[in-house]
Amino acid sequence: MLIVAAQLLTAAAGDGHVPAPGFLHVTDGVIGRVGAGVPPTGAGSGPRIELPDGYLLPGFVDLQVNGYYGIEFQTADAAGWATVAGRLPETGTTAFMPTLITAPVASLANALRGARAFVPGLPAGAARVLGVHVEGPFIAPTRRGAHNPDWIVDPDPAAVAELIESGCGLLRLVTLAPERPGALAAIDQFVQAGVLVSVGHSDATAAEVSAAAERGARMVTHLFNAQRPLAHREPGVVGQALTDDRLTSGLIVDLHHVAGPVCALAFRAAPGRIALVTDAAAPAGRPAGEYLLGGEPVTLPGDDGAPPIRANGTLAGSALRMDLAVANAVATGVALPAAAAAATRIPADLIGRPDLGRLAEGAAADLVWLSPQLRARATWIAGELVYTDGAAATLTAVLA
């Protein structure tokens, strides 16, 4: 398959790359060649696809998805997992981490065992599951956000081992508060098991965050939200996240969790270390109404992009799409190459997947075609077309 794009973006942020006409050739689900301009005569074999406008990007990689389309991963069955993974390509997302929030350790362990059974049965064309993200229960009660305070505990070695063993390799990311008793030892335990550790829902000082990074923590969960803020005498979680080159920060750019100018500030302060996440909850992709997060009620107040809330007004995940996150970042003044990298290469690199998040020889042919307005028009996973927006122009361009 040969794809010729009016504007191709490799997502190699930091090298001065800008969108430009280009092409790529796909064989057996892998990118074999990427070139600039018009492909030479006879280049490639098989179908030739012309994308006359918009942008061709790597498929999006989302490290924090609590649920979507009315389904919550915490309580979903195999069919629910299949529905979310099967429909996320509608948003341009081709790889993601289902996320479980604070619950009793035994309940989280049971959910991880369920995930081990569900993931192998996901349908063809579903977004890739990169592992499970467990957000809590080792967090700070004072920074709990929408998490249930009754289930927050210290990370003792037995609890950590139970999660690792239950995940059996599927547990890939854990969010914890490094100031909790036993947290630094827990970071050692998780890192030794190959689990990425993220600082989040934390009242840690900058020094405590630095100590966590020294032990192997490499991420900060939803920067600015549910964490000690930046102050001029105590930099807090935010200050350390923005200045510590060891840390990459997730950022929810729905313009409700974080104001636009502050999103732009984060990109400027930490270039190459911001990863867009949706933190999407069950109401995402659904009309206003009542849903669940962590097994407890949340309300989606409308369809204007505002996030779901708990009864006390606390923000509870988001209703964000990844293509809209990219568009929102660009609207704040972030250059498209940097916004694209934050949704593709940067999160892929963070979790050790150099085969994802880039348009490069040898990478998986996970692709998204965005409209000029930066909305997903078509998505491919391993070179297979798994979504189009249904517009006549899109179908003509992609399927002709």
Q: Cite the active site residues.
A: 279
Integer Cα distance of 202 and 183 in angstroms: 11
Element (H, E) at 33: strand 30-36
Question: Other C-beta atoms within 10 Å of 325: how many?
Answer: 30
- On whether the CB atoms of residues 101 and 136 are closer than 8 A, the answer is yes
User: How many angstroms separate the Cα of 253 from the Cα of each of 70, 275, 276, 311?
Assistant: 21, 10, 7, 23
- Token reading at 91: 């948003």
Nearest 5°: phi and psi at 370?
-100, 145
Integer Cα distance of 275 and 259 in angstroms: 16
Name which of 262, 256, 242, 230 is nearest 334 in CA terms. 262
Question: Other C-beta atoms within 10 Å of 156: how many?
Answer: 15
Integer Cα distance of 147 and 379 in angstroms: 34
Integer Cα distance of 126 and 271 in angstroms: 31
User: How many angstroms separate the Cα of 31 from the Cα of each of 106, 277, 328, 355, 382?
Assistant: 42, 25, 29, 10, 9
Beta strand extents in 303-344 (DSSP E only): none
What's the burial of 287, exposed, middle or buried (CB within 10 Å: 0-12/13-18/19+)?
exposed
